[in-house]
Structure 1
Amino acid sequence: MAPQRFREQFAQIQRSMPDVPLAMGPDDTGEFLYEKGVVLARDGEEARLVEDTVREHFTTFAGLDPDRVRRAGPRTNRTGITRIRVADPGEGGAEGDPAVAGALRSLRTLEGRAGRRMVSRNHIVSIAVNACPGDEPVPLPRTAPPNPAPAATPYDAATAVGVLVVDTGLVRDHRDWPLLARTDGDLETDECDEDGVLRQYSGHGTFIAGLVAAVAPNTDVTVRGTLNDAGAILESEFGEKLFEAVDEGGWPDILSLSAGTSNGRTDGLLGVHAFMEELRTRRTLLVAAAGNNGSATPFWPAAYADLPGWQDTVVSVGALRADGAGAACFSNHGPWVRAWAPGERLTGPLTGFTTPVPYVYQHSTYDDCRYGFSYACTCRHPRHSGALSEPAEGPAKADQVMFEGPAQWSGTSFATPVVAGLVASYMTDRREGDPRAAGGRLLAENTGVAEVRGEDVPALLPPTWTPAAADGPGGGE
């Protein structure tokens, strides 16, 4: 049986959030995850209207109990969002939630009159390699050079660009890497499990910070461990966590975010709307990952880059394959993706140098690319068997490797800090103090082009990045 990464990750995330029953959406297709039995609404009078409307709808909707419709918790501070329970989350399986679907349907007429959304699923927001990962990291020798290589720009505290990374935190030995010697922020809560094995996605935030620092050495990088819990968080909590991240050190020049979710809609996420509105009033540029579902469905908050009012505020980033000529097979795509950068088999720091750490692969590779691409993509190479995959002949023994420093890793998660670094580098080189102006001018002046799904797209290629040979792993079609 071919591996099913989305379903494998569903099980993984559910184990990391045992008190939150989850379902797949929309209905039984693997596009996003959400909390069973709960919907979101804006606090106050609107939440009461949603409750009353859903309760009235359930009175005449067979099989659903109107008495179960009630508030499930207080509003989450500045996000102004309330969880409303519409069913017992312990009932039914993971293949969709009829009660939540019914609650959404009940508000359609009112939403049409109001001209805006009033109710939403409570989605799981995850780091962009989580719900459908680009791949898992591959260990390299300690002497392997970073790719992109460090730029020669000197560090100057007076002009350094502030970059905030909201992710999984830093490994404890991150300062053993010269590029990360000045990096501040939160340490990961648990790098390894009880057996001393590196946890899945441990080092994700460290890898991202290393990419920013390599592309743009004149930066002050801070990493917040907002997504330390297997890289996943409820939408109802995510907006407040973003507020907390910027509160701690102030709004940065650039916010690099390799997390999000699709939701089957084209108007954003209810749970982060207050944060996105606040972002518009600030000078911060949000650089956000487009996601790794190989889909054209908008992925939020990256897709805010295509909404009126946010075009100058958000840069959404897709991943190019290792030769830079086209899209990586896993990358989301579409007109809402504003920029493309290398995101396949980048090389950077994963762990410190103190002690080698074992890692057990979670996902098996495929015989063929799961998205139909013909090049030697990360779906197929390098070959390994994963602990979460069960072939037809029964569970296979998962492959184990040792990490003692650098790694190769792929995903829009990593194309994103490359673009964040390029914007920061532009600010330094042009003495531009406005990060949004720098982002806009970088895209306007860029001459790099790649082909994605038959369309030419802007390709931002760092000068110190080395592409793979066209006929090598990750190379051309």
Structure 2
Amino acid sequence: MFDQQARLDRVLARHPDAVVVEPMPGRPALVRRDEILVAGRDAGAAEALVRRWFDSRHDEGGVARLRLRAPAKVDVCELASVLGGADRRHRRLSVSPNHLVLGQPMWWSGPADLPRPAAPLPAPRRVPVRRDVTVAILDTGLAPHPWYEDEEWFREQRDEVAEVLDADLDFRLDAQAGHGTFIAGVVLSQAPSAVLRARRVIGGDGVGDELEVIRALEWLAARGRADVVNISLGCHTYDDRPSPVLSQAIAALGRRTVVAACAGNAATDRPFWPAAMKPVIGVGALDGDDRAWFSNHGWWVDACAQGVGLASAFVRFDGPRAAVNGSDPDRFEGFATWSGTSFATPVVAGRIAAVAAEEGIGAPEAADHVLDPARHPVLPGLGTEVHTASSVDALG
């Protein structure tokens, strides 16, 4: 098992504006220091109420980020609670600290181990479909890959969503670099005809924040481009409640869009967001017939799929480690195996997209079919079991 404290220390070292908060003992969260997020309609009222600590305001779409003066040492969690109406002195505002969202291996979300080089896989075979279906992937971006690099949808966005493989220039693949590309491969393995739309919301270190996720969701809502949205990242919140600002961004996608999000890898039943939100399909991971040891679980998990030893598309990268017995542990030729709820999620998202495309129905109707408890097993604390298409194999 990886050293959780060591990983946390690395996150804080690379993101000095981040801080661990723990209003409830034993239930920590990570937030950006001296920042609160406010729904656009509430930004003016919130700014007036924090005038004594106010530093600056940045508006983008339906959300505003208020920065507070560092010397004031404001507890952003307490402030969000007060502005949200917990003390009933003010009209209830939609306010949240700017939580960090994480995909760091063996931290609160993302893959449960490191990727391992794998032999090439055949490209997913297309099948006849009755309609086009678009799957949005909010993650680390996409690297060119033979499975899709000649597709028009990839050429349109290639430069703006490119994966950053070695941001710290240490000649090693960053901890979560390739995560988005791997997820894209899993989606295509389930739904080969899907059009993918990527938005980069976390870096190759697996760290981003709630604001970037909200911006991506608003971008999708404004363009109406997604039938299914895959979010293989998330966070615990300071009060174990859903962020009202993020909740509004997801609601703005409308009822014709299905959102699937990973349940997280902390082996806990503590709600993980956005997976635990009511409109979102929270996805846990299986290892064979059992819950994967790392998978979160609980009443809020809606579905589960194989999440151990999945093989998929990956980046090309050759790290500094030497080959051992003819095997190079950090030389990737475009394919890898990986484990985590991060990768069970695109299995579910991909199955929903496939059913919608092949049957010519809406994504919500397809989700009802895929998650129908009358058709599929339901596991306690993990929800409906979703089987992979034959083109994705569990190796572990």
TM-score category (smaller protein): 0.7 to 0.9
CA contact (8 A) 2:311 2:394 kept: no
1:358 to 316, 319, 328: 319
1:435 to 348, 360, 363: 363
Provide, for residues 305-351 of structure 1, a one-character-per-residue CA deviation record: whole Å limited to 9, x for no partner: x3xxx3xxx22211112x1x121122121111111111111111212
Q: Verify: 1:293 aligned to 2:266, yes or no.
A: yes
Cα distance change of structure 1 residues 340 and 429 upon mapping to structure 2, 3 Å threshold: same
Measure the CA separation in 2 of the matches of 1:49 and 1:110. 18
For 1:206, the aligned partner's letter is T
Q: Verify: 1:202 aligned to 2:177, yes or no.
A: yes
For 2:45, the aligned partner's letter is E
Which residue of structure 1 lines up, in the alignment, with residue 3 of structure 2?
4
- Structure 1 residue 290 displacement after superposition: 1.4
CA contact (8 A) 1:180 1:209 kept: no
Cα distance change of structure 1 residues 442 and 135 upon mapping to structure 2, 3 Å threshold: closer
Cα distance change of structure 1 residues 207 and 49 upon mapping to structure 2, 3 Å threshold: same
Alignment map for 1:446-461 (pairs within 5 Å): 447-449=375-377, 451-452=379-380, 457-461=383-387
Measure the CA separation in 1 of the matches of 2:337 and 2:171. 21
Cα distance change of structure 1 residues 102 and 210 upon mapping to structure 2, 3 Å threshold: closer
CA contact (8 A) 2:112 2:339 kept: yes
CA contact (8 A) 2:220 2:226 kept: no
For 1:297, the aligned partner's letter is R
1:318 to 284, 302, 308: 284
Which residue of structure 2 lines up, in the alignment, with residue 368 of structure 1?
none
Which residue of structure 1 lines up, in the alignment, with residue 114 of structure 2?
137
Q: Verify: 1:227 aligned to 2:202, yes or no.
A: yes
Which residue of structure 1 lines up, in the alignment, with residue 31 of structure 2?
34
Measure the CA separation in 2 of the matches of 1:243 and 1:105. 24
TM-score, normalised relative to structure 1? 0.69
Measure the CA separation in 1 of the matches of 2:44 and 2:181. 43
- Structure 1 residue 414 displacement after superposition: 0.7
Q: Verify: 1:165 aligned to 2:137, yes or no.
A: yes
Cα distance change of structure 1 residues 88 and 29 upon mapping to structure 2, 3 Å threshold: farther
Cα distance change of structure 1 residues 222 and 208 upon mapping to structure 2, 3 Å threshold: same
Tell me the SS of whatever aligns to 1:351: strand
CA contact (8 A) 1:141 1:406 kept: yes
1:343 to 307, 316, 323: 307
Alpha-carbon RMSD across the aligned residues, in angstroms, is 3.3
CA contact (8 A) 1:129 1:291 kept: no
CA contact (8 A) 1:41 1:119 kept: yes
Which residue of structure 1 lines up, in the alignment, with residue 236 of structure 2?
262
CA contact (8 A) 2:95 2:245 kept: no
Alignment map for 1:182-197 (pairs within 5 Å): 182=151, 184=154, 185-186=157-158, 187-192=161-166, 193-197=168-172
Cα distance change of structure 1 residues 347 and 400 upon mapping to structure 2, 3 Å threshold: closer
1:213 to 166, 172, 188: 188
1:416 to 345, 351, 366: 345
Cα distance change of structure 1 residues 44 and 116 upon mapping to structure 2, 3 Å threshold: closer
Cα distance change of structure 1 residues 199 and 443 upon mapping to structure 2, 3 Å threshold: same
Stretches of structure 2 lacking an aligned partner (at least 5 in a row) = 322-327
Cα distance change of structure 1 residues 72 and 195 upon mapping to structure 2, 3 Å threshold: same
Measure the CA separation in 1 of the matches of 2:373 and 2:82. 48
Stretches of structure 1 lacking an aligned partner (at least 5 in a row) = 53-66, 92-97, 361-398
Tell me the SS of whatever aligns to 1:406: strand
Measure the CA separation in 2 of the matches of 1:467 and 1:221. 23
Q: Percent identity?
A: 27
Cα distance change of structure 1 residues 201 and 422 upon mapping to structure 2, 3 Å threshold: same
For 1:278, the aligned partner's letter is A
Alignment map for 1:139-158 (pairs within 5 Å): 139-143=116-120, 145=121, 150=124, 152-154=125-127
Provide, for residues 430-454 of structure 1, a one-character-per-residue CA deviation record: whole Å limited to 9, x for no partner: 231x1011101221166443645xx
Measure the CA separation in 2 of the matches of 1:105 and 1:451. 35
Provide, for residues 370-409 of structure 1, a one-character-per-residue CA deviation record: whole Å limited to 9, x for no partner: xxxxxxxxxxxxxxxxxxxxxxxxxxxxx96322232111
Measure the CA separation in 1 of the matches of 2:276 and 2:44. 29
- Structure 1 residue 191 displacement after superposition: 1.7
For 1:88, the aligned partner's letter is P
| Higher Rg of the two aligned structures | 1
For 2:191, the aligned partner's letter is A
Cα distance change of structure 1 residues 203 and 48 upon mapping to structure 2, 3 Å threshold: closer
Cα distance change of structure 1 residues 104 and 87 upon mapping to structure 2, 3 Å threshold: farther
Cα distance change of structure 1 residues 256 and 140 upon mapping to structure 2, 3 Å threshold: same
Measure the CA separation in 2 of the matches of 1:26 and 1:419. 34
Cα distance change of structure 1 residues 113 and 343 upon mapping to structure 2, 3 Å threshold: farther
For 2:112, the aligned partner's letter is D
Tell me the SS of whatever aligns to 1:240: helix
- Structure 1 residue 270 displacement after superposition: 3.2
- Structure 1 residue 111 displacement after superposition: 4.6
For 1:209, the aligned partner's letter is A
1:240 to 204, 207, 215: 215
Measure the CA separation in 2 of the matches of 1:108 and 1:269. 10
Which residue of structure 2 lines up, in the alignment, with residue 47 of structure 1?
46
